[in-house]
């Protein structure tokens, strides 16, 4: 049962169910119209499929923009056909397509712009004998189907795209934490990869961040005109907070990675206090990785695993700060790079709202 529920939560499965239901309902609704229209009932399922989008707002947008593009295409074809009656059909069709492509550049039409040229060619090839009647049949039934598609999306299965967003955030969180741990391991072994090698590794993280941002933006769009939005407001808000926090931390981590890989401040004359700089820096990175992996506290009344991770990260970062303050400067560039890394980790903990809630009594 759990596997079935998991499959049903997939966006493409939900969209398939909505599209199938909307197409069937649109077909049935079109059959109830007068014979002059019901004879062309197959146009209605087309409109339903067009309007079934991942979000309610996208469905409504796709519906009216598609119908508008179809009407523009029809009107353009009829106008050009009337003006160019003396020209060969080949030239007329070519001119219509050229003008339709130009009209498709209108930003208002967005992804539905291609319907202009499609509708124009359709009109000039099969609808010129009675353009008005053909436009009413095609555009009218398409609009009917689109309305059914929007209705199905809104009332029966209003998606919020939460599952995908949660998965994207979890994947990004794991990659970001793994990136920090890998850098820490390199510091402990003294085998930090070259900048080119790190660039390849960060490319994977960058792709995950892009997918996470896209999923978070889709959730925000899905909340518009969605009757379920209020019920899932807390989850949607959490997704937004986690996504944006990880995004900011990733930017900081990217900067400190470049500093460690390029300047290697742990090897440039700063190993003068107890413990090597590389190990202290590695401990701080490992602590930050643990905090990244645990986004929330399990309880508000007593210390939990997140508290332990924060305490370890803060302690390691305090040691790094002490090392930075007390070291004799042997290399200005390396020293300032280490300072920038320290500041970056402080800011990362602040972004993750990682503070010690239960300080140890002294």
Closest to 292 in 3D by CA, of 181, 215, 202, 166: 181
Asked if the model's pLDDT at residue 271 lies above 50, the reply is no
Asked if the model's pLDDT at residue 273 lies above 90, the reply is no
Asked if the model's pLDDT at residue 256 lies above 90, the reply is no
pLDDT at position 267, please? 61
Number of neighbouring beta carbons within 10 Å of residue 20: 15
Give me the phi and psi of 215, to 5 degrees please. -65, -40
pLDDT at position 233, please? 67
Asked if the model's pLDDT at residue 362 lies above 60, the reply is no
Asked if the model's pLDDT at residue 262 lies above 80, the reply is no
Residue 313 to residue 112: CA distance in whole angstroms: 50
Closest to 179 in 3D by CA, of 294, 292, 311: 292
**Alpha helices (H) along 84-225:** 89-103, 115-122, 131-151, 162-189, 195-222
Identify the residue whose tokens are 């939990």: 304
Identify the residue whose tokens are 């197959």: 42
Task: Give the contacts of 250 (CB within 8 A, at least 6 positions apart).
Answer: 172, 176, 205, 209
Residue range 17-55, pLDDT digits in tens: 889 999 999 999 999 999 989 999 999 999 999 988 877
Residue range 137-192, pLDDT digits in tens: 999 999 999 999 998 888 776 655 677 888 899 999 999 999 899 888 888 877 77
Residue 243 to residue 175: CA distance in whole angstroms: 14
Give me the phi and psi of 129, to 5 degrees please. -65, -35
Closest to 149 in 3D by CA, of 24, 250, 271, 33: 24
What does the pLDDT average to over 297-313? 88
pLDDT at position 286, please? 92
């Amino acid at each position: 049962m759990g596997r079935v529920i998991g499959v049903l939560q997939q966006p493409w499965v939900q969209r398939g169910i909505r599209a199938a239901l909307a197409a069937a309902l649109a077909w049935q609704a079109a059959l109830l119209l007068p014979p002059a229209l019901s004879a062309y009932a197959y146009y209605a399922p087309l409109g339903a499929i067009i309007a079934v989008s991942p979000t309610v707002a996208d469905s409504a947008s796709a519906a009216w923009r598609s119908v508008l593009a179809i009407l523009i295409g029809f009107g353009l074809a009829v106008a050009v056909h009337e003006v160019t009656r003396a020209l060969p059909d080949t030239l007329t069709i070519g001119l219509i397509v050229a003008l339709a492509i130009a009209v498709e550049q209108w930003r208002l039409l967005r992804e539905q712009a291609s319907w202009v040229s499609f509708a124009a060619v359709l009109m000039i090839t099969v609808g010129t004998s009675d353009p008005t009647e053909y436009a009413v049949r095609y555009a009218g039934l398409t609009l009917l189907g689109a309305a059914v598609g929007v209705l199905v999306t809104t009332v029966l299965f209003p998606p919020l795209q939460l599952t995908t967003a949660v998965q994207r955030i979890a994947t990004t969180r794991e990659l970001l934490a793994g990136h920090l741990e890998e850098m820490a391991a390199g510091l402990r072994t003294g085998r930090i990869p070259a900048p080119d090698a790190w660039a390849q590794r960060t490319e994977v993280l960058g792709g995950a961040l892009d997918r996470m941002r896209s999923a978070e933006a889709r959730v925000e769009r899905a909340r518009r005109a969605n009757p379920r939005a209020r019920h899932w407001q807390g989850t949607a808000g959490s997704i937004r907070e986690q996504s944006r926090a990880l995004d900011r931390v990733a930017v900081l981590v990217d900067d400190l990675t470049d500093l460690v890989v390029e300047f290697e401040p742990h090897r440039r004359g700063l190993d003068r206090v107890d413990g090597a700089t590389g190990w202290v820096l590695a401990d701080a990175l490992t602590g930050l990785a643990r905090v990244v992996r645990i986004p929330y506290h399990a309880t508000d009344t007593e210390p939990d695993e997140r508290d332990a991770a924060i305490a370890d990260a803060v302690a390691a970062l305090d040691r790094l700060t002490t090392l930075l303050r007390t070291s004799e400067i042997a290399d200005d560039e390396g020293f300032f790079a280490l300072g920038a890394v320290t500041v970056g980790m402080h800011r990362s903990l602040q972004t993750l709202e990682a503070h010690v809630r239960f300080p140890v009594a002294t």
